Amino acid sequence: MPVSTLLLVHEPEAICLKRLLAEGFDREHAAEISSYLAQSTDLAAEFDALSQACEAHGLAFHQVELDQAPAALAGQERQRTLVWTLTDGIAYFRGGAAPALARLNGLSVMGADDSLFALCQDKFRSGAVLGALGLPVPAAGLARNGEWLVGPPASSRGWFVKPNRLGAKIGIWPDSHCHDLGAALELSRRIFSAYRDDALVQPYVPGRNVRASFLGVNRQDGSEALGISFVDSGSDFQTMSDSLALYGETGEAAKMRGTYAEPELAAVLDTWPEADRKIRELAASMIRGLGLRDVFSLDLRVVDDNTVHLIEFEVCPGLPCFDFRAYCKSQWGLGLPEAMAKAAANRLTDVGSKAI
């Protein structure tokens, strides 16, 4: 019989879409924004498998929609309950409230504390903190609807422009790499018009795209358990349309049409071992200095001279995404439900024995 409980809190894609429409977003852009929550849609099909995997580890599993979280978390037994936030957000999405609700109820969480859930959702602020820690993050300017809030750094390679508080490649277009600041300001106007967001303007960083994924299946796991892979999509960077074709209802439609194509993953260690070493050292610094733990991901660009650029980090990575599934299989030899259940069970072993 299960003796402990895993509560997986998620914000459904459809509820977010309805709320955005009520706030006055047009349907096209509301659908783009809510697609960020496609992992909630995608993982729903595996809730039964996750429940079975949890039961095998002595856990009761309950999926909790975000709007029901205040009631669901209240009164839970502190020493036998773990809260795992599947979908985050502090602006367009609201899942960042879940770890704060857990703390309010004295419950342990899987992952970083709630302050990092807020920090990583604001690219400009998180970049400032990462830079202060001495990490190799590109400097950035910030624009709002065609006006500079913070002037951009000089760049001989042009600039890359993206929304400040949106993920999943939302608001990234084929011309997001621009070559003059007038174009950068025009992109900020487009971003503000479509998404009501500021625009981050960074010097363009060359190199290959790398994703570093982490799930601490065992309590002692550190940066050695990272899965570090090149993510090659056939283009310099992924756009919003590329991302939409991989997840949620759009991804399922692409599978039905036979047009679904995942980017290729290749272990960085196999060909660029020095870059792999630098990324592990970087991650260890973030674990020590920033407080990353349990589950997270890093997005990086790596140049062929082994120069590493940290683009952003996530404390609530897309677990059902192809790259995280591949990581669970290659690193742990487990499917996603089994890896999640084992990680949660081991995380609960020290609940109640010390402050979490």
For residue 263, which of 294, 239, 282 has the smallest C-alpha distance?
A: 239
Which long-range CB contacts under 8 A does 304-307 form with residues at least 24 apart? 304/207, 304/272, 306/272, 306/274, 306/275, 306/278, 307/136, 307/207
Give the per-residue pLDDT at 350.
Answer: 63
Residue 48: its pLDDT value, please?
97
Residue 352 is predicted with a pLDDT of 47
Yes or no: say if 296 and 112 are a contact pair by the CB < 8 Å rule: yes
Q: Domains of the chain, with CATH numbers?
A: 4-111 (3.40.50), 139-203 (no CATH), 208-347 (3.30.470.20)
Q: What angle do CA 29, 18, 82 make, to 5 degrees?
A: 105
pLDDT value for 263: 82
pLDDT score for 236? 64
149-187: per-residue pLDDT in tens?
A: 999 999 999 999 999 999 878 999 999 999 999 999 999
> What tens digit of pLDDT does each residue of 49-99 get?
999 999 999 999 999 999 999 999 999 999 999 999 999 998 999 999 999
User: Are β-strands 199-203 and 141-144 bridged in parallel, bridged antiparallel, or unpaired?
Assistant: antiparallel
CB 93 within 8 A of CB 16: yes
Beta-carbon contacts of 46 under 8 Å, excluding residues fewer than 6 positions away, are: 320, 336, 337
The list of the chain residues with pLDDT below 50 reads 352, 354-356
Give the separation between CA 141 and CA 29, rounded to whole angstroms: 24
- pLDDT (0 to 100) of residue 262: 75
